Structure 1
Amino acid sequence: MIGVLLVLGATVLGARLAAASDDTVEYWAVRQDVRPGDPVLDDDLEPTRVRLSGGAAGNYLRTDEKLAAPLDQLVWAHEMRSGSLVGKASLVARSTQSRSQLPLSVNDGAAPADLARGDLVDVWVGPGPGDEPGRKAVRVLESVRVLQTGGEAAAASGSLAQTVLVDVARERMQESVISTVAAGHVTLVRVS
């Protein structure tokens, strides 16, 4: 009788443990690193089962939820690393992006040597060689993302300057910013 009760108890306990371990939900995760502004591709997303507690579950995109727009009309709102869960704010429709691309002429030595796409930089403008030395450098843009660097093309052509393309929110893009970067010596300082 005791043996039967032990077997029955173990069976019930095993069934409860199995049921408790299967309370995971399927969410979207990123298969490979993505950058802000990149189009969302089918290959970027992969389903993964996880157990999230409390309010955290509402922050991520489940595989059974409808997307804000068709996949071909979405772009990544921010950088994400491979394996990260996709947050509900990570995908935005192309039409809601109020972004501008600002090209900067950056002299050799005025940016990190290993500057790469996706880096965050502050844009400083100051006096260049031959300008009056009393002028001070000013930060005209803070924490903007590098979309493209021209380092390899500049090196191949023997140029002492490269064109760096940065992503700027339209509300931060003012005439004074454009005239300042066009008239001064641009220096990029990596912040992340």
Structure 2
Amino acid sequence: MPEPPAAVRFSRRGWRDPRLVIGLVLVAASVLLGARMLAEADDTVEVWTAAHDLQAGQTLSGEDLVATRVRFADADRLGLYLPVADGVPEGVLRAPAASGALLPRAALGADAVEQTEVAVWAPAIAVPPSVGPGARVDVWVTGEGARDAEAVLRGVRVVAAPGADATLAASTERQVVLALGPDDAAQVGTVLAAAQAGQVAITRAG
């Protein structure tokens, strides 16, 4: 009878097996790449933005704010805004902010800004149609001659600007309500007198 063939035994591959080393390298690279991607995805910070249009002189509350995640290309710029981590800011808004706008620290003050609201009116053709709440305007007083015009107010904020059909004289005049600071309040008499005489023109400052 012929002798049976010898049994073949499979030996275990050691840790020096090239395929095992390549597998470990691939796993390590995947872990590092995943960790880097997660770190980049979380490279954001929560800051406060306006929940709706905010007016200057308004005292902020939690209902006026929304936490929004943003990423700053320059980390130093974070210090210019109000991070959510510091809590709800307390104070008075010194400048208007549109809905969704980031709120800078410089726009928040401890005390309300003293302002005087004054309603002026001008011929409808002397007021740009784009003038509306929040716009900055210059107010000019015109004289009898074509060359007699003086800007008595510069860069003042519009609080309200009803349409021509809702103003005092329907389609011929338009009313504009302005917020004047302490430096501009002295011009109220001049502006009102000129408005009464029909010698006011308003230009948009930006």
Same fold (TM over 0.5): yes
The question of 1:191 aligning with 2:191 is answered: no
Contact (CA 8 Å) 2:61, 2:88: kept in 1 or not? no
Larger Cα-atom Rg: 2
Rounded Cα–Cα distance in structure 1 between residues aligned with 2:130 and 2:203: 12
Report the equivalent of 2:136. Answer: 120
The correspondence of residues 1-192 of structure 1 with structure 2, limited to 5 A, is 1=20, 2-52=22-72, 53-66=74-87, 69=90, 74-93=91-110, 95-127=111-143, 132-133=144-145, 136-151=148-163, 152-154=165-167, 158=170, 160-174=172-186, 177-184=187-194, 185-192=199-206
User: What is the CA RMSD across the aligned residues, in angstroms?
Assistant: 2.6
Contact (CA 8 Å) 1:37, 1:78: kept in 2 or not? yes
Between stretches 181-190 and 33-42, larger displacement belongs to: 33-42
Rounded Cα–Cα distance in structure 1 between residues aligned with 2:146 and 2:23: 93
Residue deviations 1:22-64 (CA, integer Å, cap 9, x gap): 2322111223343434554534321122232332010010012
Q: Which has the higher contact order (CA 8 A, sep 6+)?
A: 1
Q: Per residue, is there more strand in 1 or in 2? A: 1
Contact (CA 8 Å) 2:126, 2:202: kept in 1 or not? yes
SS in 1 for 2:104: coil
Contact (CA 8 Å) 2:133, 2:158: kept in 1 or not? yes
Q: Which runs of 5+ in 2 are unaligned?
A: 1-19
Report % sequence identity: 32
Q: Structure 2 vs 1, CA of residues 5 and 147 (structure 1 numbering), >3 Å: closer, same or farther? A: same
Q: Structure 2 vs 1, CA of residues 178 and 12 (structure 1 numbering), >3 Å: closer, same or farther? A: closer
Rounded Cα–Cα distance in structure 1 between residues aligned with 2:146 and 2:47: 57
User: How far apart are 1:10 and its partner, in Å?
Assistant: 1.4
User: How far apart are 1:87 and its partner, in Å?
Assistant: 1.0
SS in 1 for 2:148: coil
Contact (CA 8 Å) 1:121, 1:188: kept in 2 or not? yes
Contact (CA 8 Å) 2:127, 2:174: kept in 1 or not? no
Contact (CA 8 Å) 2:157, 2:180: kept in 1 or not? yes
Residue deviations 1:110-152 (CA, integer Å, cap 9, x gap): 212343212211000012xxxx438711100011111112434
- Give the length in aligned residue pairs: 180
Contact (CA 8 Å) 1:68, 1:92: kept in 2 or not? no
Rounded Cα–Cα distance in structure 1 between residues aligned with 2:28 and 2:124: 77
Q: Which runs of 5+ in 1 are unaligned?
A: none
Q: Structure 2 vs 1, CA of residues 134 and 48 (structure 1 numbering), >3 Å: closer, same or farther? A: closer
User: Could you tell me which amino acid in structure 2 is paired with residue 57 of structure 1?
Assistant: L
Report the equivalent of 2:13. Answer: none
User: Could you tell me which amino acid in structure 1 is paired with residue 83 of structure 2?
Assistant: R
